[in-house]
Structure 1
Amino acid sequence: MNWHAVRAIYQFEMARTRRTLLQSIVSPVLSTSLYFVVFGAAIGSRIPEIDGVNYGAFIVPGLIMLSLLTQSISNASFGIYFPKFTGTIYELLSAPVSHLEILLGYVGAAASKSILLGLVILATAALFVPLRIEHPVWMLFYLVLTAVTFSLLGFVIGIWADGFEKLQLIPLLVVTPLTFLGGSFYSIHMLPPVWQTLSLFNPVVYLVSGFRWSFYGAGDVSIGLSLAMTLAFAVAFVAIAAWILRTGYKLKA
């Protein structure tokens, strides 16, 4: 394993984050804070507790997950797409760097940015609503696992995309709607039985439910099923990314 190559890619991507701190960290935190103000304070005061949790606190895991998914995909997809756009990707592919090392560098940097953002949003949420974390170790584990999983998806999207418009296609038209419909702002048990069943086909439900369980010890589905689904997503995205790098799909053409 060429750790020097992994570190070089990782540090380059992290340096780009420091140069765009306003866009990478400050803007998502401010946007999420507006959700806390509107939903937590204005609307939350009119909604009864859900599973014994104040509504403002109830939506915190969902809001963190919303930012985590979108930022993980955005960071990783842009990170690998920009070298394609400028043509510098060929220098990387011709260097004595393995596919695994490329993947570790880009995905590790994207996941690190998203984890940092998630922790900042968590600290910001504590200023607005009373929070408790019953399983802090599981919360951190789930935060890291989700960030890595969707950074892998973003890496795949960045290679697949052949224009800046396509970078936003899946996050805006697929991931964000699924997140809003995945129990970020409500419990699926509040829905009619038919919609509860349909919600179980939404993969984001398992992510939000598992993350919320780490806070309050309760979720819409069991923690075992949530963890299994998240691991399944991670394995699937690793396999796709490995196949792309091995075959040179949209990289060597």
Structure 2
Amino acid sequence: MKLNYYGIRAIYNFEMARTRRTLMQSIVAPVISTSLYFIVFGSAIGSRITEMDGISYGAFIVPGLIMLSLLTQSISNASFGIYFPKFSGTIYEILSAPISPLEIVIGYVGAAASKSIILGLIILLTSAFFVPLHVEHPIWMLFYLIITSITFSMIGFIIGVWADGFEKLQVVPLLIITPLTFLGGSFYSISVLPSFWQKVALLNPVVYLISGFRWSFYGIEDVSLLVSLGMTVAFLAISVAVVIWIFKTGYRLKK
């Protein structure tokens, strides 16, 4: 199947241009928020907890903080990107244009994922000013960065289609994703938890994402790398399946 690259590029460039217009909100604000986490957790808590799994506490929390920003921003960027055309009514022009559902998804999800990847790399560079940092497996780090951004941008796309009001765009990131990330080992290793709570923590899907991402930095993991990788790919597959169903049924797009 030949893709309509002009259509994909038009959607992608429009979304990226919106980021440039809202640079303070899209890039600067998340970086400042993450820097504050470094100051509060790295300095205040780090003075009491010097190491975690043999890694200085400030450096230990870097992957978790990047993942926190990555998940929330991927969802927010993608959900708003598809919701606004629904809100303004221009979604019908997009659906009637000579562009396939696949190309629409590539345009919107690709732009949202690109923003998140750029943000993740900026936060990674910023963290080097606060803590000594090294990445043992840079290729795997980039892989996790990219696949997580794509997966949660896809989830954001689904939320944007589902939402029928601006307030619903924030429900999942604020009430579900952020708490799961905080409880998913962003600021600690789940190995320090009592046995019962370790088993409960394994029910949290974000644990697998953070564990694999942290392994790419320091070679330490809370769960097996293969399990972490399998869960990450499973999230992506489920998201793709839901998006296919949305376009097949026209769920909240054509009704």
TM bucket, shorter chain: over 0.9
Match of 1:192 in 2: 194
Dislocated runs of 4+, deviation >3 Å: none
Q: For residues 153 and 63 of structure 2, what CA distance do their matches in structure 1 show?
A: 19
CA contact (8 A) 1:99 1:246 kept: no
Is 2:9 the partner of 1:10? no
Q: For residues 153 and 191 of structure 1, what CA distance do their matches in structure 2 show?
A: 30
Q: For residues 165 and 187 of structure 1, what CA distance do their matches in structure 2 show?
A: 33
Cα drift, residue 79 of structure 1? 0.1
Match of 1:217 in 2: 219
Identity percentage of aligned residues:
73
AA at the equivalent of 1:197: K
**Structure 1 segment 14-163 matched on structure 2, within 5 A:** 14-163=16-165
TM-score, length-scaled by structure 2: 0.98
Aligned positions, number: 253
Aligned-residue Cα RMSD (Å) equals: 0.6
Q: For residues 31 and 58 of structure 1, what CA distance do their matches in structure 2 show?
A: 18
Cα drift, residue 42 of structure 1? 2.2
AA at the equivalent of 1:139: M
SS at match of 1:73: helix
Cα drift, residue 115 of structure 1? 0.3
Cα drift, residue 246 of structure 1? 1.9
Q: For residues 159 and 238 of structure 1, what CA distance do their matches in structure 2 show?
A: 14
Match of 1:172 in 2: 174
TM-score, length-scaled by structure 1: 0.99
Structure 2 gap segments, 5+ residues each: none
AA at the equivalent of 1:151: S
Match of 2:249 in 1: 247
SS at match of 1:127: coil
